Structure formats: structure tokens, C-alpha cells
Amino acid sequence: MSRRVAIVLALAALSVAGIVPIALGAEIRPGSCPAPATTWSATEKEVWQRFVCRGEVADLRARPDDKRKLSGTFLTNILLDEPWRPALPRQGVRIRGAVFDQKVTFDNADLAGVLWLEDCLFNREVFFSQTRSARLLSFDRSEFKEPLRLNAMKLGAPLFLRGVIAQNRIELWGTSIAGALFLSGSQLDSLFMQQANVASDVVIYGARIQYLQLGNATFGGNIVIGPTEDQPSIVSKMRVEASKVAGRITITDAIIETPIVLRFASIGGNLEINGGTLRGIDMTGATISGEFRLVASKTGPPKWSGDEPSILRNATARVIRIEGEPWPPKLDLRGFQFQLLGDGEDRSRSGARMPHRDVEPLLQWLGRSTPYSPQPYEQVAHVLAGTGDDAAAREVRYAAREEERRLAQGWKKAWLTAVWLVIGHGYHLDRALYWVIGLLIVGVLVVRLSGEAKRHNLGSGVAFSFDRLVPVVKLRDQKVELRPGVRQYFYVQQILGYVLASFLVAGLSGLTK
């Protein structure tokens, strides 16, 4: 065994024993680190020689402010320039607690290794636009006084922005992140992610964000917004319009101060809102491949503030739950389509028939939709009929016509009221039979009490009243000259018979439904 190998093994044994500390993963390289640049400050020289070059964390948090300052030039030198870049250890650059008073600029650069700039203070703009890195990038717990621009950056690993305080905007326009994006505990003025591509999850717990713009982006995982043990996520404005989310969107116990905008978004999993306080939601044209759920969390059901209706216009979902769900008090359900109700079990495919459903909760839900449209009622009825509950489907369709009658005015209201009285909008044709029986009895009473039945030998008067009520059908072929008052009544009865027959034909053909 050579002398050099023996020394290395001895040092390794001592490090295990705790006698000689060696940084985890640190490289043991012959010779010293490249000399620092003459333009670097004393702090920068120390950070390079004592920490970064040796693969250790440069923790400046306990130092006085004037001993924590680093420059943007120092970062670009060690990350991009020779002789320092080739000398970087595989652990990358890990700096905590530094203060940057100059701009940090890495436009269109290729970064080597991991870059941690945590617990740092950036007093000027930070640019990483069009920069490429195969390793993770972390700004955890750092503070930005001016914009952080990561536009069109290509990152081959997660991006960490946990606990960040940003007094200005953070831009990730067109940024590609091969891992997840972590924003928990951050306080952000605004985050812009238009046309970004995040391969995994976006995780936001206990954050305060004035404007969360996730629109026109692609997310390969989930978007999760929730609380920490003592802090809910508070978002003033949230937009996810026209974005593609492969997984689910889950919002738990959050405070969203303006309506959530999900217009034309595509969600591959569920959309779940668990508790919290929300102003409303705009899902115009959105597609939910899973279930749309509004459920109570440990703190209670979602609370809806404001007078704006939540808009589900022309949206689609595979499954929704209505009974017992804390839906917003005002909805716009025009064009909203779904495949299943309740527990999401498609019993129509298996041939099983569901028991008759209580439609009252469904009608209360439909009654929240303004302005009135028959389409949401027809959608619910279609789904009920698909499960074999034809009776419930008829009740819902009948309620739609009743709501239309309630809102109608003038001649339309008179017509719909007549249809309702005679044949129950085509869903209660038995009412026409009651009218026939009633008018038949009245006719009998008229012909008997007037003495016409006895004078013309009409017997009980039932056949005569029936002939004058039901068109076409004749039980007896006897011409009778009635007195003027009685004659006028039976003219009216005959007209009503034609009217009843017309309504009955219209109801049977479905024209009144």
C-alpha cells in the first residue's frame, strides 16, 4: 500500500471517529484552490477560499452587515469564469446570509452545479433570464427589494422559494422547471408564470401572495395551496386561466380575496376546495377530468363572501357532488356539463338502477343559478335518467318549466300557466282527465237542472254532455234544440273540449316539455 493511500485511509478513519472533520461529499484535491481575483473584497476572498472552493456552506448570518456583503461580479466570476468555475466542487455554491447591493446578472448563462443563495438580502434586481442549470436552485428565506427575473430559465431540478420575502415581482415567464416549485411560507408581491412549464408540483403552504398568476402555463403535477400549523395561505388575486394541470388543484383553508380565475383551464385530476374563505370562482370553459369537490376541512366548510356569482359557464367535470356540499350562494350554471352525480359511481354502465333520489337538494342547487336557463336542469335530468331514475328526471324537467313560468310575463306567462293547469307542462297528462271529468259533470248538472234532459228525453245527460265535450266521439246521434242559455254553455264546453284535446296532443308529442 502506497504512503498516499495510507494517509487517505487514516484521515477517513479519524473523520469517522469525529477527530478530523471532513465536509460530507467534499472533494480532496491536490494543491490549493485557485487564487481569488484581486478585485474581490476580503469577504469574497474568504468565502471562496475557506468555504465555496472546499465544498462547504458559507454561512455569514452571524456576521456584522459590512462583513456579509458580496457582489454580483463575485458570483459571476466563480460560476462562469476560469479558473474558478472548473474548481467548483460537486456540491456547488452554497451561501447563506449574504447581502448583495449590486445587480446579480446571469443572462443566457450555463450554471455549474447546485446554487444555494439562502437567507440572503438582494437590494437590487436579480437576473437569471435564459439561464440553464441541470441542478437545483434555492433562494429559501431570502429577501428581494427589487424584481427577481427568472424568465425563460431552464432548470433541470426543483426551484426553492420557501420563506422568500419579495417586495417586488418575481417573474418566471416561459421558465422550464424539471422538478417541483416550492413557495411555502413566502411573502410575495406578485408571481408571474405565464407560459412556464413545471414538470412536478407547485407547493404553497402558509404563504401570503398579492397576485398569483399561473395562467397559460403547464404543470405536470399538482397545484397545492394550504396552511401551515399557524398560518393560512392568503392570496389577494389568483389566476390559473388557460393552464394545463396534469394532476389536481387542491386549495385548503386558504383565504382568497378575489374570485379564483380558472377560465379555460384543463385539470387532469380533481379540483378540491376544502374549507377556507373565498370570494368566488370563475370556471368559464374549464375542463375537470376528475371530480369537482367543495368539502369541509378541519376548520369547517368553505365560506363564500361577496355578491358575485361563481361562474361555471360552459365548464365540464366528470363528477360533482351537490347534496350537502357548501356551494356558493350564487351560481351561473349555463352550459355546465358533468357525467356523474354523488359518489361518482356510474351505475348505468353496470346495469344497476339507483333508488329514487330526493330531488329537492338538486332543485335548490339549480335555483342558485342566475340568469335562468333550462340547460342546467336538462343536464341534471339527463344524468339522473342515465342512472335509471326517470321519475327524478321528470321532476327536474317539470321544475325547469315551472321556473320559466314564474319568471315569464304577459302572454307567455298566461300560456305557460294554461299548459301547467291543463297538462302539467306535459309531465302530468292526468290533469287533462280531471278536466274532462269535471266538465262532464258540470254539463250533466246543467242539462238536468235546466230541465232539458227531461224535455228531450236525454236520460241522465251523461252521454249528451260527453258528446258536447269530446271532439269526434259521438255516443248518440240525436239533434237537440236547447234553450238559449243552455245552448251557449254547451258551445263553451265544446270549445273547451277542443282546447283540452289540443293540449293533450301537444303534451303527448312533447311540444310542451
pLDDT per residue as tens digits for the range 217-257: 999 999 999 999 999 999 999 999 999 999 999 999 999 99
| Residue 447 forms part of a structural domain | yes
Domain enclosing residue 494, as ranges: 430-509
**Inside any domain, residue 108:** no
Domains held by the chain: number: 1
Does residue 389 lie within any of the structural domains? no
Q: Considering the domain boundaries, does residue 467 fall inside one?
A: yes
55-68 as b/e: b if 16+ CB within 10 A? bbebebeeeeeeeb
Instruction: Read off the pTM.
Output: 0.82
Query: What CA–CA distances, in Å, run from 411 to 399, 406, 418?
Result: 20, 13, 11
Using CA atoms, how far apart are residues 170 and 151, in angstroms rounded to an integer?
9
- Read off φ and ψ for residue 345, nearest 5 degrees: -85, 120
Give every residue of the chain whose pLDDT is below 50, as ranges.
1-31, 344-351
Q: Is residue 503 in some structural domain?
A: yes
Q: Is residue 497 part of a domain?
A: yes
Cα 423 from chain centroid (whole Å): 42
The per-residue pLDDT for 419 is 80
pLDDT of 422 reads: 79
Which residue(s) pair with 133 in the sheet? Answer: 111, 155
- In DSSP notation, 80-136 reads HSTTTGGG--TT-EEEES-EE-S-EE-TT-EE-S-EEEES-EE-S-EE-TT-EESS-
| Predicted pLDDT at 455 | 78
Domain assignment of residue 483, yes or no: yes
List CB contacts of 324: < 8 A, sequence separation 6 or more: 361
Is residue 435 situated within a structural domain? yes
